[in-house]
Amino acid sequence: MKKKYIGFFLAGIMSLPASAQDIFTKEFIKSLMDRVNLYQYTHPWTKVDDNWIRGTYYTGVMACYQATKDNAYLSQCDAWGETHHWGITPLKPDDWGSGANILTCSQTWLESYMAHPAKFKLKPTVEYLHNGEHKNPTTRPLSYYHEGGLRYVDALFVCPPVFAMLNKITRDPKYLEWMDSFFWDVYGNLYDDQDNLFYRDIRYRPETACEQAKSSQLAGKDIEDSGSYFCYKRTKNGKKVYWSRGNGWAFAGLARILKYAPRDYANYSRYRAIFENMAEELKKRQQGNGFWYTNLDDPDDNGYRETSGTGFFTYGIAWGINNGFLSREEFLPVIEKSWNALVSSVSGEGKVRWGQRVGASPYKVSQEDSHEYVTGTFLLAASEIYKLKK
């Protein structure tokens, strides 16, 4: 199976343009997509994964198919779906893990259905959501909104777009109701109205109690040995903690909701307003080298460039320009810089580097850090840059 899909991409990789050429040409972008995807496909982090890590990678693969219409990408997605019988691994009844995470793969199943409708692609997701044991986000919210008992911002990417897609496919309004129930509950707890950005979870809000939160003297570089799940409310410079990838999950999730939800839907303008407000804040927080750093409010807090957040933001802003939601004049310079930054992060063999490892807060990043979801954010960005008309 692996040899079959390697063959699909070799021709494009062999013709990769020199780095001195325009990185915005379709030829360059397509060759880079192929190289990055082939590297990730041949360097899986584990043999089997039908959860959020590989699910996020495949949202990028499918986005590349939608942009380029290269059937090799769709074939790769379909092969992955077939491997898992287009299904979802159910939660145990008392599992406190996130039900949102395990729906990530459904985005690829459903987008494959939209490309070539077949009931077997759709049926497992629908049956899972209507199963009496698993329920849905309005009847059993703790299994969907929460991770470890907490609402978490990552959930806004991995689940609500599934409901927008299901509504587009079935025209059943209940899926938009489920999407609203999910999204606005998380939004109400984690969104900062002053800065138009999201906290990763409630522990990072400055005004809330948190047993794990430490004093500002322990924030920033002083916590390098504490792991990537360290919770703190202020940096050493007294700034808030807005995790880059955390806001990337939300911003990219909003783009995908806006992509699939009907524009005449009553709450569509609310989603659009948050998307546009976040874009304005992200524009202010981009660094001169084109990256967004791990803490959007304080670039000196673990002051590292970071590609998973930068990939998500590039994807969302480019999507906003391509679809008339964001001003081309205002935002094109932003993604020109960020795409250049992302391209510079790709190794000769196709590894997307400088991607923060699994975590829940700003944390140190080294050049060789990467993961499948990092590749996914890069491919999402590449898919929209490919469609960009400069």
Q: Are 302 and 363 in contact (CB under 8 A)?
A: yes
* C-alpha distances in Å from residue 235, one per residue of 193, 219, 298: 20, 5, 7
Global pTM reads 0.92
Please state whether 147 falls in left (phi above 0), alpha (psi between -120 and 50) or beta.
beta
* C-alpha distances in Å from residue 103, one per residue of 59, 160, 187, 283, 386: 12, 9, 19, 30, 27
> At the topology level of CATH, where does 2-387 sit?
Glycosyltransferase (1.50.10)
- Chain centroid offset of residue 62 CA: 13
Per-residue pLDDT of the chain (390 residues; tens, 9 = 90+): 455 555 545 544 444 444 446 999 999 999 999 999 999 999 999 999 999 999 999 999 999 999 999 999 999 999 999 999 999 886 665 555 678 999 999 999 999 999 999 999 999 999 988 886 666 777 777 777 788 788 999 999 999 999 999 999 999 999 999 999 999 999 999 999 999 999 999 999 998 855 444 433 334 434 444 456 678 999 999 999 999 999 999 999 999 999 999 999 999 999 999 999 999 999 999 999 999 999 999 999 988 899 999 999 999 999 999 999 999 999 999 999 999 999 999 999 999 999 999 999 999 999 999 999 999 999 999 999 999 987
Residue linked to tokens 């590349």: 64
Write the CB contacts of 282 (distance below 8 Å, at least 6 apart in sequence): 247, 251, 292, 296, 313, 317, 334
Q: Are 235 and 219 in contact (CB under 8 A)?
A: yes
Tell me which DSSP letter residue 217 carries: G
How far apart CA 324 and CA 115 sit, in angstroms, is 24
